Amino acid sequence: MTAFNHRFDTTTLREYDIRGIVGKTLHPADAFAIGRCFGSIVARGGGKTVAVGRDGRLSSPELEPALVAGLSACGLEVLRVGTGPTPMLYYATYALAADGGVMVTGSHNPPDYNGFKMMLGKKPFFGSQIQEIGRMAASGDVVAEAAGSDRHVDIAEDYLARMLRDYDGGERKLRVVWDPGNGSGAEIVKALAARLPGEHTVINGTIDGTFPAHHPDPTVAKNLEQIIAEVRARKADLGIAFDGDADRIGVVDDEGHILFGDQLLVVLARDVLKAKPGGIIIADVKASQVLFDEVAKAGGTPLMWKTGHSLIKAKMAETGSPLAGEMSGHIFFADKWYGFDDAPYSALRLLGIVARMTEKLSDVRRAMPQVINTPELRFDCAEDRKFQVVAEVKDRLSAEGAKVQDVDGVRVLTEDGWWLLRASNTQAVLVARCEATSEAGLDRLKASLVRQLTASGLAAPDFSGENAGH
């Protein structure tokens, strides 16, 4: 039996995944070690099979076999579903009744990054569990080496067919532009578009790990310029964009205006709540107050929760929520679906809603209460200081009698609107956001935020980015 121990670069073991720069902080040896440790956890729990997928990054064909070798060395059977979106791997874990799942993906990070997202059983694997992988590797705490096996399983057709079962837009022919951003969802998106009624245009539809057209992150407005131009040129009903592994969605209406994550969730929630009156709709703390108000108005129960796709999924399972979402474009359907973040599926559900509408998507967007907000502001703060700063701010606000929600950081409510300060779980940064009903109100909120940061010895964030009408 070969002795095993391994040390990861400390920057790679994140809150929600394992991620690093290939050739610098992440290597095939790390992939093998992840397989060996995660596989040991599965095996010790009585598990026998793990599904594995990979994205279209140039490094994924090298990392995936090393991961598979580590899992196999635990005596497991590895079900290799090949290149595709992260939600297809999640689906495979359910459909193949696997005991775990690992996706080799760098998500929306630059091309030289890669990483691993994991599921243990049907649940996300995150936080202290990821740190446990590091401890196990360093101490060699793994199951005895055993001969496992691996086989290729083509799940794509099954995944597509299962999604299409839930399309409820009838035969109305929408005109849709799709932009998978050369990410690993490209082939699935093309196949999905080809089977839906209407006129569909797919741009950047080849999987290419260099991302030649634009960075694959649909939450950044610059990355949507191409699809906006295409929607306007084709007079399309809407445009749908995806991140690098297609677990996050971006939407553009018929006028070429962006629907932000919380606005999209309003549209989806109104529809879900018709069948699930009183349903709990979860959104993260960065979402607009408009979302929570509109969910309540539609007969739902709004629930504000912590930012982070793994945290949201866990809260959904706990509360029986049929739908959740984040500002970052992670949308989670448990209504008819499995409760994981799946952008192609969310796109299909949105298209069904738009096809049944009598008005245009731009009319729906315009009819929502209009507020003014800053973009998400991220600014450096030392790892050992970021949570401390948030605690200091909370203590001062409490002493002042301010109205504070502390689900995740501090969200301060005033007559003008609200401002948020929270520590990132994945980086040495603080995240802030302000939202008001007027420009003057927004200025007052910004000033309040700056006062608190100054009191904790931090410089103000850069407010120079344009405020977004929302």
Do 98 and 50 meet the contact criterion of CB atoms below 8 Å apart? yes
Known catalytic residue at 107: yes
Structural contact between residues 36 and 52, judged by C-beta atoms closer than 8 angstroms: no
Classified as helix, coil or strand, 300 is coil
What are the tokens at 362? 């731009």
CA 371 – CA 338 distance, rounded (Å): 33
Contact 69, 145 (CB under 8 A): no
Q: Please list, in sequence order, all residues whose beta carbon lies within 8 angstroms of the beta carbon of residue 443, skipping any fewer than 6 positions away.
A: none
Rounded-to-integer distance, Cα 35 and Cα 73, Å: 8
Phi, psi of 183 (to 5 degrees): -85, -175
85 three-state secondary structure: coil
> Residue 57 in contact with residue 50, Cβ under 8 Å?
no
CA distances from 377 to 100, 429, 440, 453 (A): 36, 10, 19, 13
CB atoms within 10 A of CB 336: 13
Helix, strand, or coil (residue 88): helix
Dihedral angle sign, alpha carbons of residues 188, 336, 120, 19: positive
> Looking at residue 341, what DSSP letter applies?
B
Active-site pick, 40, 60, 107, 184: 107
Question: What is the rounded CA–CA span in Å between residue 180 and residue 310?
Answer: 23
Residue 45, Cα to own-chain centre: how many angstroms?
A: 28
Antiparallel, parallel or unpaired: β 49-54 and 100-104: parallel
Distance CA 25, CA 8 (A): 8
* Alpha carbon separation from 388 to 296, 316, 399, 423 (Å, rounded): 34, 29, 17, 9
Burial class (CB in 10 A: 0-12, 13-18, 19+), 100: buried
How far is residue 25's CA from residue 10's CA, in Å, rounded to a whole number?
A: 9
Distance CA 136, CA 144 (A): 13
- Name 435's bridge partners: 373, 418
Q: Which positions are annotated as active-site residues?
A: 107
